[in-house]
Amino acid sequence: MPPYAFFQNKFVPLAEAKIGIMTHALHYGTAVFEGIRGNWNSEQGQMYIFRLKEHYQRLEDGCRLLKIDLPHSVDELCQITVELARKCAFREDSYIRPLAYKSSEALGVRLHDLDNDFLVFAIPWGRYLDMDACKCCISTWRRPADSVIPPQAKITGLYANNAFTKTEAMENGFDEGIMLTPDGYVSEGSGENIFLVINGKLVTPATYNSILVGISRDTVIQLARNELGIDTIERPVVRSELYTADECFLTGTAAHITPVAEIDRRQIGSGSAGEITARLQELYFAVIKGNHAKYLDWCTPVYKK
């Protein structure tokens, strides 16, 4: 079964979905994307798409910033995505990539007077940070202020900043880079939010610290509070707190919950997943695979039973 795309308002094999070389979004980064997980539950023979609606609500917010009139409502986008996933028929963890973009084949930097389009495709995709615990560095690249380019939207042009960070980190022997805000507070990884455990509580940079407000971040905050009785403090975090935290982990749709073993060659805690991180990981994997009855509302089944 070839993977499919929903492109120019119809389902086509992924290999047939092509855009012209003059497409505006390709030149100026004028597009908004999402990353959504389809989590395969082998015991149930079911694929669950995690927090589908929330991803499209965030896409819709990004489109408002970029003056993209989406041709579909959030509910329609959810339906299109489930149908796409069903057509792809994957029986393994997958990743769904929607993109709303300036589709005119026209030059000239602007947001106005351009056509918009929406596409979505899915691919099989396993673990993103493929290790038990990752090694991070503080990036020399900073997250932009909202007045430079709003970091709370997944604007494709913005992701050159993330790409600088990721490649710098990997070429220097790390797995991931942590960016600071323009004024030097901790912000986030190139594709993940960051959490610390300090004195039994979770601490994470606040929404105004140039972060993408992650859906996994929200999931962790809710699971920690509801299931472990642990509160999360959202506040500015200084760099040195990273080095002395009891535990540290990254969260993201692609990366799930990935423990951080060391930052700038300083070991965090025991150097492997700490106790609270491990408990959250266990809960999180049960929830995203549709194995936790209380959170089934977050899981959209793909296959009809």
Binding site for ligand PMP (CB under 6 A): 35, 162, 188, 191-193, 212, 214-217, 251-253
Residue nearest to ligand PMP (CB): 214
* Contact residues for 130 (Cβ-Cβ < 8 A; gap 6+): none
The nearest distance, CB 15 to ligand PMP, in angstroms, is 26
Residue 104 CB, nearest approach to ligand PMP (Å): 26
**Sequence-ordered list of residues with C-beta below 8 angstroms from that of 262, at least 6 positions apart, any chain:** 135, 136, 268, 271
Minimum distance from CB of 253 to ligand PMP (Å)? 3
Residue 3 or 191 having the CB closest to ligand PMP: 191
Neighbouring CB atoms inside 10 A of 267's CB total: 13
CA 219, CA 209: separation in Å to the nearest integer? Answer: 19
By beta-carbon proximity to ligand PMP, the closer residue of 89 and 148 is 148
d(CA 224, CA 264): 27
Active site residues: 154
Tokens for 210? 């140039």
CA angle 58–60–66, rounded 5-degree value: 110
Cα distances (angstroms) measured from residue 69 to each of 65, 101, 250:
10, 10, 33
* Residue number, 215 or 261, with CB nearest to ligand PMP: 215
Distance in Å, CB of 210 to ligand PMP, minimum: 10
- Output 62 or 274, the one with its CB closest to ligand PMP: 62
